């Protein structure tokens, strides 16, 4: 596996397939909270069992990568993902969500920059793309702040790209 768990100066990025059931329970609770899911493409609450089945499928699918992010106190801060990863084109879509307890203090910018530095240093990807719902102004500003460029808008969505330097 090219994309292993890794640690930075302030955060641990742990691959979903390495986590315990208890850790997944916490991830699922945050992901299905209204504060997080209102900004997701899939806004429906789904059963915990569906989350566990999703993680099982990740074990055999190298086009999807999900990390849980923990701070120095081992508190769950959020999740970051690459999916799908297109190895031949050296590009992947990405997603991020932050535990509502950590939102609003700039942690997402710090996490994103650390993540991009780590992922791009592996020399597997040249571009990371993002799709943002056009009403999510906070996410649009966030993507611009971490170096994404707007490519286009279509059907209530904004498309962004970040290229490796």
pLDDT tens digit string along 113-160? 999 999 999 999 999 999 999 999 999 999 999 999 999 999 999 999
Residues 6-126: name the CATH superfamily: Gcn5-related N-acetyltransferase (GNAT) (3.40.630.30)
- What stretches of 89-157 show up as alpha helix (H) in DSSP? 107-121, 137-145
CB atoms within 10 A of CB 112: 22
Provide the whole-model pTM.
0.92
What phi-psi label fits residue 136: left (phi over 0), alpha (psi between -120 and 50 degrees) or beta?
Answer: beta
The confidence band for 165, taking pLDDT boundaries of 50, 70 and 90, is confident
Taking the CA atoms of residue 81, residue 79, residue 160 and residue 127 in that order, the dihedral angle to the nearest 10 degrees is -40
pLDDT tens digit string along 58-105? 999 999 999 999 999 999 999 999 999 999 999 999 999 999 999 988
Q: Are 51 and 24 spatial neighbours (Cβ–Cβ below 8 Å)?
A: yes
């Amino acid at each position: 596996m090219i994309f292993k768990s890794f640690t930075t100066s302030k955060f641990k990025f742990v691959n979903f397939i390495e986590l315990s059931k208890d850790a997944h329970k916490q991830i699922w609770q945050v992901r299905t909270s209204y504060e997080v899911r209102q900004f997701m493409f899939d806004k429906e609450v789904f059963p915990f069992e569906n989350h566990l089945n999703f993680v099982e499928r990740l074990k055999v699918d190298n086009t999807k990568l999900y990390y849980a992010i923990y701070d120095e106190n081992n508190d769950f801060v959020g999740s970051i993902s690459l999916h799908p990863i297109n190895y031949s084109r050296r590009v992947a879509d990405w997603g991020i969500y932050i535990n509502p307890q950590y939102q609003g203090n700039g942690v997402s910018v710090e996490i994103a920059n650390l993540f991009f530095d780590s992922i791009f240093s592996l020399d597997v990807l040249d571009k990371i793309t993002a799709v943002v719902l056009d009403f999510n102004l906070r996410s649009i500003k966030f993507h611009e702040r971490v170096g994404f460029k707007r490519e286009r808008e279509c059907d209530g969505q904004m498309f962004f790209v970040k290229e490796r330097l």
